[in-house]
């Protein structure tokens, strides 16, 4: 475990609050900022350890959020488990690949992913969740395949992958948007915990920072969810996407040295 200053511990909690707040406010995408916040805001300059540390925080927070969704019957446990089991294999393979990728290269590729996610958030249209329209169930085989591919991406970058899991469940399991969001938390939690365990085996996980992140995330999520109904969600999503792009460009600039390997 790396020795942290008191200021770094406070900044870790603040980072967790910001991530939790954004998740509660716009319902997704917030965890994508966990890694850059830990590295560039907290000053935790260990890319692989940052991925392992934030993965466990994202995973635990996702599991905690399954409870309120399940109470509202927004979780399809059967499809969630079928999606998650092959995703575990994918997450382990992705984490192993991430560990052998040089830290600055991994951050540069991660920045590109951030921009792709931000563009998706900007272009995504509002969904009429009250319509009840769903796609046909694609069958177990389709769920298993998409689950593995999403788990692979989640494990490699150490993120929850909710932005991939939700549409993945909609198109493979035929869930409506409300069910997909609630069910996705099973996979987000599973992929995060599995990725963190693989990084922990290599010594790339700091429990103290994870706890601080989780504590901040709970506080931020509570505040964000209460404010969510009071402000236009679409506008907030657009603003957040722009923030992601700005952070990603900075990350690419800081890690430009990777281009010398090309």
Q: State pLDDT tens for residues 206-230.
A: 889 999 988 988 888 778 767 756 7
* C-alpha–C-alpha distance, residues 160 and 154, integer Å: 6
What are the backbone angles phi and psi of residue 112, rounded to the nearest 5°? -65, -40
Selection from 52, 47, 48, 54 nearest residue 33 by Cα: 54
* C-alpha–C-alpha distance, residues 5 and 43, integer Å: 10
Q: What is the pLDDT of residues 84-126, one digit of tens each?
A: 999 999 999 999 998 998 888 888 888 888 888 788 778 765 4
Distances (CA, A) of 98 to 31, 115, 135, 240, 257: 18, 19, 34, 26, 18
Q: What is the pTM of this model?
A: 0.76
User: H-type helices in the chain, by residue range?
Assistant: 6-26, 34-36, 47-71, 77-99, 103-123, 140-157, 162-173, 177-201, 207-227, 233-254
| Residue 127 CA from chain centroid, whole number | 21
pLDDT-based confidence at 7, cuts 50/70/90? very high
Q: What is the pLDDT of residues 16-44, one digit of tens each?
A: 888 878 766 665 556 678 888 998 899 88
């Amino acid at each position: 475990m790396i020795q942290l200053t008191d200021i770094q511990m406070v900044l870790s909690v603040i980072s967790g609050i910001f991530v939790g707040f954004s998740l509660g406010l716009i319902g997704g995408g917030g965890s994508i900022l966990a890694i850059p916040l830990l590295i560039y805001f907290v000053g935790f300059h260990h890319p692989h350890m940052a991925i392992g540390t934030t993965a466990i925080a994202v995973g635990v927070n996702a599991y905690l959020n399954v409870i309120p969704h399940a109470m509202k019957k927004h979780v399809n446990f059967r499809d969630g488990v079928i999606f998650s089991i092959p995703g575990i294999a994918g997450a382990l393979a992705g984490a192993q690949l991430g560990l052998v990728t040089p830290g600055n290269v991994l951050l540069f590729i991660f920045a590109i992913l951030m921009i792709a996610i931000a563009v998706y958030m900007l272009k995504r249209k509002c969904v009429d969740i009250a319509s009840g329209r769903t796609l046909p169930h694609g069958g177990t085989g389709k769920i298993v395949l998409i689950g593995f591919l999403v788990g692979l991406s989640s494990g490699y970058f150490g993120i929850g992958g909710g932005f991939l899991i939700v549409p993945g469940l909609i198109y493979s399991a035929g869930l409506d948007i409300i069910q997909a969001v609630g069910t996705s938390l099973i996979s987000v939690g599973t992929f995060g915990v599995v990725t963190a365990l693989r990084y922990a085996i290599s010594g790339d996980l700091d429990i103290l920072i994870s706890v601080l992140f989780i504590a901040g995330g709970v506080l931020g999520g509570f505040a964000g969810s209460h404010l969510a109904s009071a402000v236009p969600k679409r506008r907030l999503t657009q603003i957040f996407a722009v923030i992601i792009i700005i952070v990603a460009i900075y990350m690419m600039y800081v890690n430009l040295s990777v281009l010398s390997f090309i």
